[in-house]
Amino acid sequence: MTAVILATACAVVYGTADFFGGLATKRSQVLSVVALSQIAGLALILVLLPVLPGVLGGAALFWGLLAGLSGAAGLALFYRALATGVMSVVAPTTAATSAALPVLYGLATGERPHFWALAGVVLALGSILLISQDNSGGAGGSFGSVLVSLAAGAGFGGFFILLALAPSEAGLWPLVGARLSSVTVVALLALLTRRSLRPGPGSLHIIVAAGALDMAANVLFLLAQRQGLLSLVAVLVSLYPASTLLLARQVLGERLRAVQVAGVACALGAVTLIAVAQPG
């Protein structure tokens, strides 16, 4: 049950981070938002290290560095897919892939969730597809953009799997490695493309909030994964678009489509099924 609570909280925080990130990109260039938010997250994890200490070792940093590279690749591919495809295809394809990959990995490595937990997984994957629908035009998008979306989802799913491979006694050190590698990749990308990382007026505090919340969500994921099955934790975490949608409705007054409301309801049902299937 602890893993379910942590993973659900992680999804809420991830969704909130995305909401702030979305606000920031309306005022600053995307690369600036990504780079500065990553740096803010790195600062936060360095502050948290003494609070949740762990054993620093080569394995912790190794898996963390790989996770960071996988996550950074997923992010770059996701933006590439958005630039060449249709949002209503790219978003659900990426989200469902990022959730399904850890499930398949967990089952392949011997995880055996309870029947009702598996039913919750299926419902969660369906809810992701519903929640991620938007009002973008177009009937489908190119085959190439779908392939890039699948690759982006694999990058995000790989981030979860690689973090789970780090030793449990490592504490937060895997996240330090992950953030160091992702910051390096983004900085090199900025240099190669000669893009300015200067934030737009009035956006720095929003970017910092997005980065801090994203790292807080990473911490919650790491703690949840160590308490429960990766195949369940990763799916619950992947429900984060629901909280982004609800925040957009409450703060910005955006209206939810009927299909998205159904997706949120399915997400709540999925959490309930997975929760009741867990031992007390």
Under the banding of pLDDT at 50, 70 and 90, the label for residue 12 is very high
As a whole number, the mean pLDDT across the chain is 85
Query: How confident is the model over 156-205, as pLDDT tens digits?
Result: 899 999 999 999 899 899 999 999 998 998 888 888 888 888 888 888 99
Query: How confident is the model over 193-225, as pLDDT tens digits?
Result: 888 888 888 889 999 999 999 999 999 999 999
CB 21 within 8 A of CB 37: yes
Query: How confident is the model over 79-117, as pLDDT tens digits?
Result: 777 667 666 567 778 888 888 899 889 889 988 888 888
pLDDT at 130 over 70: yes
Q: Could you give the maximum distance between any two Cα atoms of the chain, in Å?
A: 54
Domain boundaries, the chain: 2-276
Residue 86's identity, in one-letter code, is V
Q: How far apart, in whole angstroms, are the C-alpha atoms of residue 106 and residue 216?
A: 24
Three-state SS letters, the chain: CHHHHHHHHHHHHHHHHHHHHHHHHCCCCHHHHHHHHHHHHHHHHHHHCCCCCCCCCHHHHHHHHHHHHHHHHHHHHHHHHHHHCCHHHHHHHHHHHHHHHHHHHHHHCCCCCCHHHHHHHHHHHHHHHHHCCCCCCCCCCCHHHHHHHHHHHHHHHHHHHHHHCCCHHHCCHHHHHHHHHHHHHHHHHHHHHCCCCCCCCCCHHHHHHHHHHHHHHHHHHHHHHHHCCHHHHHHHHCCCHHHHHHHHHHHHCCCCCHHHHHHHHHHHHHHHHHHHCCCC
pLDDT at 197: 83
Q: How far apart, in whole angstroms, are the C-alpha atoms of residue 73 and residue 56?
A: 25
pLDDT at 6: 95
pLDDT at 238: 86
